[in-house]
Amino acid sequence: MTFDVVVPTAGRPSLAGVLAALRDGVGPAPARIIVVDDRRAASEPLDLPAGVESVRGGGRGPAAARNLGWRRASAPWIVFLDDDVVPARHWRAELEADLDGLPPAVAGSQGRIVVPMPADRRPTDWERNVRGLEQARWATADMAVRRGALELVGGFDERFPRAYREDSDLALRLMDAGLELVRGRRHVVHPVRPAGWTVSLRLQAGNADNALMDVLHGSGWRERAGAPAGRLRRHVAITGALAAGLLAPHRSLRRLGRALWAAGTAELAWARIAPGPRDGVEVARMLATSALLPPLAAGHWLRGRRRARRLVAQGGGPLGNPAALAPLAVLLDRDDTLIRDVPYNGDPDRVVALPGVADALDRLRSAGCRLAIVSNQSGIARGLLSEAEVQAVNARVQSVLGPFEVVVYCPHGPEDGCACRKPRPGLVLEAAARLGVAPSRCAVIGDIGADVEAARAAGARGILVPTERTRAEEIAAADEVVGSLGDAVARLLGPVTAREPVAA
């Protein structure tokens, strides 16, 4: 059983404890540990132990960070850990036991989360909130997921910018695909980190994600995902009473509205105070925040509802529709796509990269896309090139443009009837198989009709970047046509943003 560990981090000091526990634990070690640095403005790299890989996430949120991490990973099992948990000493051995022998229909295994509570007093409102993780279903604070299952559903939905609901969304989509999720016996400890008095107000932004869950999965998603019912309806009612108390046209209605608001606010405050320590500081905090919490919750939910409907109507975001799924791998034609075409070139010194190609490839690598070259080289069959010369040119391409995980080429001529020469799908299928990525999660970019026809035949997404030599009928037949390789990458990943991740 081979597994990689992905840990997104916002730069918390607790990350060191996670990595130390992974290093010192008992049981099989992870093949790779990938830390996704999701700080928005990270000028200095993280101080990580030897052997731990790092990639910049650019502050796009936990869903995007986890996607970046698992796409960089290569093991059949990907284990997601938060940067503020501490795996138990035997966590690695227990993980092996949890995963060993699971049938193919099981897509994921969740570890148990233990949140220590103070022994000398009742827990505060914030501490009880964190303790809820012990009962959470499918929390990626410790979740192992098959790589194939992630590929099947496209990974995490990056339309969820905050933590928590992206976990539930992934679990529901895995179950909708006919897969199962199980609980394991391993556990991690999740200490309660310090939080300011406004933490409960900041958490209300999560109601916007709940609204997106309503739109994506229907009103019954909470029961399916094992999520608590929450108090949104009460918050909306209290907010409505407050609005009536301020804006109603008649004095009697305003008085009634204020009375209902006061009663609802008092009930909320007592529900939060009663199980807590009831000291003066905690009581004051609960009274102040309980007055502000309902309108904040209702406002975030309404804002999230409008955003969710817009996203779904537009098919926006990485999971809006299949065509919008960010690819796991991008397969590129060589001549006139990556480098200037020199017919039957066997001289590495004549390799010249096309403008903008290096930047486009860097962006794909930073996004975690795996890269391959797929190229027809009929000059070998015609006796105009040797395989050694083709390989030397390919090596020069990589020295100029950076590494490609897989480089495959067809040495046959048009008359040979092989299965690998584009527009047949052989090269695309071979590259996808060697990368370990389903063809449906690959994009093929090339400059002629044969490139996109090969993609179509293999079940991959094809994008044509025509040159002056591309025939008009090839352009007309292509599903997607763009002006440059950079435009093709923007089509796959979205437009470049100010928080674009960069390679570590």
State how far the alpha carbon of 123 is from the alpha carbons of 132, 282, 448, in Å: 12, 10, 65
Residue 498: per-residue pLDDT: 45
CA torsion sign, 393 to 399 to 400 to 403? positive
Peptide bond into 13 cis (omega under 30): no
Residue with structure tokens 């069959």? 381
Domain definitions of the chain by residue range: 3-195, 196-319, 326-493
The pTM of this model reads 0.71
Residue 320: per-residue pLDDT: 40
- Tens of pLDDT, residue by residue, the chain (504 residues): 799 999 999 889 999 999 999 999 999 999 999 999 988 876 688 889 999 998 888 788 899 899 888 988 889 999 999 999 999 999 999 999 999 999 999 999 999 999 999 999 999 999 999 999 999 988 999 999 999 898 888 889 888 988 889 999 999 999 988 999 999 999 999 999 999 999 999 999 999 999 999 988 888 899 988 888 889 999 999 999 999 999 999 999 999 999 999 999 999 999 999 999 999 999 999 999 999 999 999 999 999 999 888 776 655 444 544 344 578 899 999 999 999 999 999 999 999 999 999 999 999 998 888 999 999 999 999 999 999 999 999 999 999 999 999 999 999 999 888 989 999 999 999 999 898 888 888 999 999 999 999 998 888 899 999 999 999 999 998 888 999 999 999 888 876 654 454 433
State how far the alpha carbon of 149 is from the alpha carbons of 34, 80, 170, 292, 349, in Å: 19, 14, 10, 42, 44
Class of 326-493 in CATH:
alpha beta
Residue 502: per-residue pLDDT: 41
Residue 491: per-residue pLDDT: 87
SS (H, E, C) 72-130: HCCCCEEEEECCCCEECCCHHHHHHHHHCCCCCCEEEEEEEEECCCCCCCCCCHHHHHH
Residue 247: per-residue pLDDT: 95
Residue 474: per-residue pLDDT: 94
Q: Which residues are catalytic?
A: 333, 335
And the tokens for 187?
Answer: 């556990």
Residue with structure tokens 């975001």? 317
State how far the alpha carbon of 125 is from the alpha carbons of 174, 300, 302, in Å: 33, 21, 25
Topology, domain 3-195: Spore Coat Polysaccharide Biosynthesis Protein SpsA; Chain A (3.90.550)
Residue 45: per-residue pLDDT: 83
Neighbours of 437 (CB within 10 A): 23
**Amino acid identity at 34:** I
